[in-house]
Amino acid sequence: MKKVNKKFKAIFIAMLIALSTSVSYAQWQNTNFTGNGPIESTVSTVTGVGVGDFSASNVASALHVNTNLTAAQTGGGAFGLGEVFRTDAPNTATYWKMLRGGTDYGWIYNNNDNHFYIAAPFNSGGNYGDLYFQTGGTNTRQTILGSNGFVGIGNSYNPAFRLDVSEDINAGGTSATTTNAYYLGKGKMLWHNGIVSNLYVGVGVYSGHIEPPIPAC
């Protein structure tokens, strides 16, 4: 009996040591949360889930992944610490959806093909959601209207045509030796011949034939 007790005691001590030195990379946050690090509480309402080491920071959102203090991964299942989020699915359309009040407002998805899609699917009685591209904070630089697909380029610019630009357009870059041109259908309508001071208006190239250009006034 003494030998059994000693053996059990040794196993129990080994288990305590293993548990005390293990690192938890997941924790949960409740409504009474005021501190950092791992949390223990009897409160049943979970308001935030943190994945990673939060010993020096708070769980700052409903789902917060933090690899700043995570040890580098090794072995067959290793991943880079910059790969903080990943989803995988069978061969079917795969969606990340953003809803508010049960209504879809934004999708990022793959339609079981080789393409990547960004969508603003909102439609309420013909009231469509537009797609905005912003930089420099919340400054809208490009707009695609949900109602008709019109594209506007410019600061908070509402397009009135299929492609509508609010300011100057530079076609082909700034090289003086490049033949820059604006096309209508398959023909050049406004271009220069490599010398930027020579500006032409007229029909351009059709099946290898060059129509005589008309110098612009």
**Per-position DSSP letters for 57-90, written without gaps between them:** S---SSEEEE-TTPPPP-STT---TT--------
d(CA 18, CA 23): 10
- Does residue 148 contact residue 156 with C-beta atoms inside 8 Å? no
Please state, rounded to an integer, the average pLDDT across all residues of the chain. 76
Condensed to tens digits (0 to 9), the pLDDT of residues 99-156 reads 999 999 999 999 999 999 999 999 998 899 999 999 999 999 999 999 999 999 999 9
Condensed to tens digits (0 to 9), the pLDDT of residues 14-64 reads 555 544 434 444 555 544 444 444 444 444 567 788 888 888 888 888 888
pTM for the full predicted model: 0.65
d(CA 38, CA 146): 45
What integer pLDDT is reported at residue 155 of this predicted model?
A: 93
What integer pLDDT is reported at residue 185 of this predicted model?
A: 67
- Does residue 159 contact residue 150 with C-beta atoms inside 8 Å? yes
What integer pLDDT is reported at residue 104 of this predicted model?
A: 92
